[in-house]
Amino acid sequence: MNKRQQRVQRLIDAAVIAVVRSPRRDLIVPLSNALIAGGVVAIEITTTTPDALNAIRDARAAFGDRAMIGVGTVLENITCRAALDAGAEFVVSPIMRPSMVQGCHAADVPVMLGAYTPTEAQLAYEGGADFIKLFPADTLGPQFVRALRAPLPHLRLVPTGGVDLSNAAEFLAAGCAALGVGSSLVSAEILKNQDWAELTRIAEAFITAARSVRPVGNVK
């Protein structure tokens, strides 16, 4: 198993990927620490975070192997390359951009491309995507995942947008490889109040939901 395959497996083992849209770079380390304390160890720092590349560097330096720090909302190849240079351990795009795959794989980094339809999901897979980001998942739901995986069981699906504590377990039971969880985990209110204890509590609840379906490991 090469390094990229190991990282793919670590994301699957993590089960929950926190999608972080922070209003400030300096919040990244404390919020990540709160997530890790709750068992959520895969953290996607979106490019909408101010100074996102340095935020990735901050988190990698602070947590090392305790967490997997990736980048999200990557729309362009130049941004992808810059994030890889900053140390991102996985790359997530909400769109199907297969041109990102080669650079990510050359750096031993998994890449997740966005899709909404069966055709898009299959084309992303054929383009080399390690994971398919189903987005926005709230308009699709676990039933869609079951239907999609019946003819296309090889797809590693990661629903994002609309995943919360009420449906997290059902998405995993439907066969998702992992879950992308944004505002239902790292809410604007938590960020505003810097309520890290509440963030840890919600992270623990998501991990408990995931563990009701399958074993959840860590990134070590």
Q: What is the DSSP string of 163-193?
A: --TTTHHHHHHTT-S-EEE-TTTS-HHHHHH
Q: Based on the structure, what is the number of domains in the chain?
A: 1
The pLDDT of residue 218:
57
The pLDDT of residue 51:
98
**192 belongs to the catalytic site:** no
Q: Supply the pTM of this predicted model.
A: 0.97
What value does the mean pLDDT of the chain take? 97
Closest CA to 181 of 152, 153, 204: 204
Domain-embedded: residue 23: yes
N- to C-terminal Cα separation, the chain: 16
Domain-embedded: residue 136: yes
Q: pLDDT grade, residue 217 (50/70/90)? A: confident
What is the average per-residue pLDDT within 167-171? 98
Domain-embedded: residue 218: no
pLDDT tens digits, 8-25: 999 999 999 999 999 999
Domain-embedded: residue 216: no
Catalytic one of 76, 133, 189, 204: 133
Domain-embedded: residue 151: yes
Decide: helix, strand or coil at residue 138. helix
**170 belongs to the catalytic site:** no
Catalytic one of 44, 120, 126, 204: 44
| CATH number for the domain that contains residue 31 | 3.20.20.70
Domain-embedded: residue 152: yes
Domain boundaries, position 73 = 3-211
Domain-embedded: residue 217: no
Domain-embedded: residue 219: no
Query: In the chain, what percentage of residues exceed pLDDT 70?
Result: 99
DSSP-assigned beta bridge partners for residue 42? 17, 68
Q: pLDDT grade, residue 220 (50/70/90)? A: very low
